[in-house]
Amino acid sequence: MLGIIGGTSLLFSTLPSLEKRTVSTPFGPAEILSGDIVMLMRHQHGLPPHRINHRAHLAALAIAGVDRIVAIGSAGSLKPKIAPGSLVIPTDYFSLTDIPSIHDHDIVHARPELSKDLTRELSHLVPSARFGGVYAQTRGPRLETVAEVNALGWIADVVGMTVASEATLACELDMEFAALCTVDNYANGLAREVLTYEHILSSARENRTRTEEMVQNIIGHMG
């Protein structure tokens, strides 16, 4: 079953008609929208990135029968050539912060990765997206400093606060995972304007129709 994780980029979009329910997991409850597919909104109850219960979220998707996940989320561009408004499908990721794990009481080394098959399938469904590149995860909720952005730009293409955690947990739970990043801004210092959360919200609002169409296309072909 297909699972879709959405965040800021879906705030202003009309979502499919699905049944809301709460799933109890060993890591706490999580709300999902279920039907032929399952959707999960990552910022439940208005929680900022560093307080999201990723373990409960991914466990809830697994309990609901999800075995493939497409995560859609806002990201900042680390490269001048990746302009705001772009779409990026990363093929790898790394994190500068702690990554949660479901393995608190045993030693298990899961191999973290983004699914090659799922990312390739996603690229066919969203041909306007830039395929390939590295996603860097920082902790949030603050934005990255100019120095951090300059350093990250040497090794990554986009920066966000959630994909590395979600992808790693998906691997631990034997679910394929791919990400579609909506580039809503240049990372701090790459543009003249002072970056704020309002800029990110404005971009999500402006691109809501495109986002709705992408979600419908993904569900129609993968669901």
In the 3-class helix/strand/coil scheme, how is 130-188 assigned residue by residue? EECCEEEECCCCCCCCHHHHHHHCCCCCEEECCHHHHHHHHHHCCCEEEEEEEEEEECC
Range of the domain at 176: 2-222
Report CA 28 to chain centroid distance, whole Å: 20
Is the distance from CB of 175 to CB of 110 less than 8 angstroms?
A: no
Number of domains in the chain: 1
- Residue 178 CB contacts under 8 Å (≥ 6 apart), including other chains: 69, 70, 71, 89, 114, 115, 118, 119, 121, 122
Angle 54-63/163-172 helices, nearest 10 degrees? 40
The reported pTM is 0.93
Written as tens digits, the pLDDT of the chain (223 aa) is: 999 999 877 767 777 889 999 999 999 999 999 999 999 999 887 788 889 999 999 999 999 999 999 999 999 999 999 999 999 999 999 998 889 988 877 777 778 899 999 999 999 999 999 999 999 999 988 889 999 999 999 999 999 999 999 999 999 999 999 999 999 889 998 987 766 767 777 777 777 888 888 999 999 889 7
Residue 57 confidence (pLDDT): 97
> Could you give the CA distance from residue 70 to residue 31 in angstroms, rounded to a whole number?
17
Please name the residue that has the structure tokens 């090659």. 116
Residue 33 DSSP SS3? strand
Please name the residue that has the structure tokens 């705030």. 11
Residue 18 belongs to domain with CATH number:
3.40.50.1580
Given phi > 0 = left and psi -120 to 50 = alpha, else beta, which region is 49? alpha
- Residue 27 CB contacts under 8 Å (≥ 6 apart), including other chains: 53, 55, 56, 59, 102
Residue 164 confidence (pLDDT): 96
